[in-house]
Amino acid sequence: MHNHTQNNAELVRRSLSAVWHPCSQMKQYEAFPLIPLARGRGSWLYDFDGNRYLDAVSSWWVNLFGHGNPRINAAIKDQLERLEHAMLAGFTHEPVITLSERLRDLAPAGLGHCFYGSDGASATEISLKMSAHYWRNTGQPDKVHFISLQNSYHGETLGALSVTDVALFRDAYGALITQQATVTSPDSRKAASGETSEEWAMRCAGMLAEHLHQHHEKIAAFIVEPLVQGAAGMAMYHPTYLKLARQICDQYGVHMIADEIAVGMGRTGTMFACEQAEITPDFLLLSKGITGGYLPLSVVMTTDDIYQAFYSDNAARGFLHSHSYTGNPLACRAALATLDIFRQDDVLALNRQKAEYLNRISEPLRTMPAVRNWRNTGMIWAFEVESRHDNFSQRCFQLGLQHELLLRPMGNTVYFMPPYVISDDEMELLTERTMLVVGALA
Ligand SMILES: *Cc1c(COP(=O)(O)O)cnc(C)c1O
């Protein structure tokens, strides 16, 4: 047998010396050590010391059907023996064709063309560039601005940051980006007292209309996270906002970009969040869960109208954007296996039962005195904790690990975004242990 503890300490030391970890102040790892992972299975991650952690955040919202899923593993292995990768300019292959056809069939009607990137931020970049280029190609070159919601998050490359309204991620780079305007978020927590979330959504749509009324001649697109603003702290809102926003964008000739990178692939209870508002956006962005959390892949789906504006004998009118790994066959096969699981297991129906069960058993957690704003959309739950600690999120993360939970609060917002394979027993463990953590930090 290996000496696991020594193995562990050695990996931490090597990682801190060579790996610059994401979304981290590296010095904090002196106080809060890294955890080297040995393997993953289902909803669980395992370290080298025999500890396990319930992945209640789906490893940053990407994992849908568990770690080490046999069906996705098999699909990737099969593809590995055929074609691992080839450039997609001038060539094509079965996985990317089939994935594009199946997404077209699943997505809101009218989104017939798929353009691929490697991660969520690149999908945002692609949609912003495509939108502005569309207006240039159609004789409205002044439409080069974008609007997003307050507290929006659309990724962290420079273009995506320009439509991201999270100060922590943006402030250091203010001089490098063209900050775009934001409009009031329909976040249900901000409704006036006595006002329903739908009435508040309608009021916010009125503010969007007012903004577009004044500025539409310069605005290419409105980019929005449908139903749930993830990085804002799982801010949820009424679908009426999206329905009205669609009408308002049409009225003023502004594209609507639905960033479903986090909320797509069944997360909100429907395959795509836009379905709940019965709208088709001009651009639909997918990434994160699309490969089941296995491989980086993103897709920008768009309409015939937009596609046709680029179709020409003139090369410069084309969309000359590219990423080296565009349409990677292994990632596309992982995505196809993910779509197969949705179909074979009737996942959306199963998830409704799971969500109902978690809502039922979480009653004692929801009614704790320190828990505020309990909310749920599909397979996302969130609440704020009134805590006496000012570094609540770090403490909650640490204490969660001691209770076998991977929770990663955003500020005082704790959320569950579990893999869809989470079992009843695991949901019980999740809510019971979360009560212990919240109780200790209240
Ligand atoms: C995660 C996320 C992104 C960025 O995706 P990356 O793959 O991290 O670049 C963009 N938009 C939303 C809504 C996201 O949740």
Q: Which domains can be identified in the chain, with CATH numbers?
A: 73-344 (3.40.640.10), 347-442 (3.90.1150.10)
Query: What is the C-alpha separation between 355 and 367, in angstroms, rounded?
Result: 18
Rounded distance from Cα 155 to ligand 1 centre (Å): 5
Q: Which phi and psi (to 5°) does residue 229 adopt?
A: -90, 100
What is the average pLDDT across 71-89?
98
What is the average pLDDT across 85-101?
98
CB 297 within 8 A of CB 291: yes
Rounded distance from Cα 121 to ligand 1 centre (Å): 6
Residue 179: per-residue pLDDT: 83
Rounded distance from Cα 59 to ligand 1 centre (Å): 13
Nearest atom (ligand 1) to Cα of 124 = 10
For the chain, percent of residues with pLDDT exceeding 90: 95
Query: What is the C-alpha separation between 14 and 406, in angstroms, rounded?
Result: 23
Nearest atom (ligand 1) to Cα of 160 = 10
Ligand 1 pocket test: pick from 288, 291, 325 the residue with the most ligand atoms within 8 Å of its Cβ: 288
Query: What is the C-alpha separation between 419 and 44, in angstroms, rounded?
Result: 10
pLDDT at 2 over 60: no
Ligand 1 pocket test: pick from 149, 154, 408 the residue with the most ligand atoms within 8 Å of its Cβ: 154
Rounded distance from Cα 324 to ligand 1 centre (Å): 19
| Span 243-290, pLDDT tens digits | 999 999 999 999 999 999 999 999 999 999 999 999 999 999 999 999
Query: What is the C-alpha separation between 238 and 123, in angstroms, rounded?
Result: 25
pLDDT at 65 over 80: yes
| Span 304-332, pLDDT tens digits | 999 999 999 999 999 999 999 999 999 99
Rounded distance from Cα 139 to ligand 1 centre (Å): 31
pLDDT at 3 over 90: no
- Residue found under tokens 């969500």: 355
| Span 12-45, pLDDT tens digits | 999 999 999 999 999 999 988 899 999 999 999 9
Beta bridge partners of 298: 117
Rounded distance from Cα 223 to ligand 1 centre (Å): 13
Could you write out the three-class secondary structure of the chain?
CCCHHHHHHHHHHHHHHHCCCCCCCHHHHHCCCCCCEEEEEECEEEECCCCEEEECCHHHHCCCCCECCHHHHHHHHHHHCCCCCCCCCCCCCHHHHHHHHHHHHHCCCCCCEEEEECCHHHHHHHHHHHHHHHHHHCCCCCCCEEEEECCCCCCCCHHHHCCCCCHHHHHHHHHHCCCCEEECCCCHHHCCCCCCHHHHHHHHHHHHHHHHHHHHHHEEEEEECCCEECCCCCEECCCHHHHHHHHHHHHHCCEEEEECCCCCCCCCCCCCHHHHHCCCCCEEEECHHHHCCCCCCEEEEECHHHHHHHCCCCHHHCCCCCCCCCCCHHHHHHHHHHHHHHHHCCHHHHHHHHHHHHHHHCHHHHCCCCEEEEEEECCEEEEEECCCCCCHHHHHHHHHHHCCEECCCECCEEEECCCCCCCHHHHHHHHHHHHHHHHHHC
Q: Please name the residue whose Cα sits nearest to atom 15 of ligand 1.
A: 262
Nearest atom (ligand 1) to Cα of 156 = 9
Q: Please name the residue whose Cα sits nearest to atom 5 of ligand 1.
A: 120
Residue 421: per-residue pLDDT: 98
pLDDT at 72 over 80: yes
Ligand 1 pocket test: pick from 261, 265, 286, 377 the residue with the most ligand atoms within 8 Å of its Cβ: 261
Residue 279 tokens, joined: 């709208």
Rounded distance from Cα 157 to ligand 1 centre (Å): 10
What is the average pLDDT across 227-235?
97
What is the average pLDDT across 343-348?
98
Residue 408 tokens, joined: 């990663």
CB 429 within 8 A of CB 55: no
Residue 3, CA atoms < 13 Å, CB-side half-sphere: 4
Identify the residues whose C-beta falls under 6 Å from ligand 1: 119-121, 124, 153-155, 225, 230, 259, 261-262, 287-288
What is the average pLDDT across 53-65?
98
Query: What is the C-alpha separation between 386 and 384, in angstroms, rounded?
Result: 7
Ligand 1 pocket test: pick from 60, 153, 185, 300 the residue with the most ligand atoms within 8 Å of its Cβ: 153
Confidence of residue 1 (pLDDT cuts 50, 70, 90): very low
- Residue found under tokens 């010396």: 17
CA 28 to chain centre: 26
Rounded distance from Cα 154 to ligand 1 centre (Å): 6
Residue 255: per-residue pLDDT: 99
Given the DSSP bridges, would you call strands 145-149 and 219-224 parallel, antiparallel or unpaired?
parallel
| Span 155-209, pLDDT tens digits | 999 999 999 999 989 999 999 999 899 999 999 999 999 999 999 999 999 999 9
What is the pLDDT of the chain when averaged over all its residues? 97
Q: Is the dihedral of CA 203, 166, 217, 309 positive or negative?
A: negative
Nearest atom (ligand 1) to Cα of 259 = 13
pTM given for the model: 0.98
Cα–Cα nearest to 273, from 287, 290, 260: 260
Give CA separation, 410 vs 25, 116, 170, 365, 396, in Å: 15, 30, 16, 18, 10
Residue 5: per-residue pLDDT: 66
* Residue at 335: amino acid letter: A
- Residue found under tokens 């809102």: 237
Nearest atom (ligand 1) to Cα of 119 = 7
Q: Is the dihedral of CA 314, 319, 320, 325 positive or negative?
A: negative
Q: Please name the residue whose Cα sits nearest to atom 12 of ligand 1.
A: 154
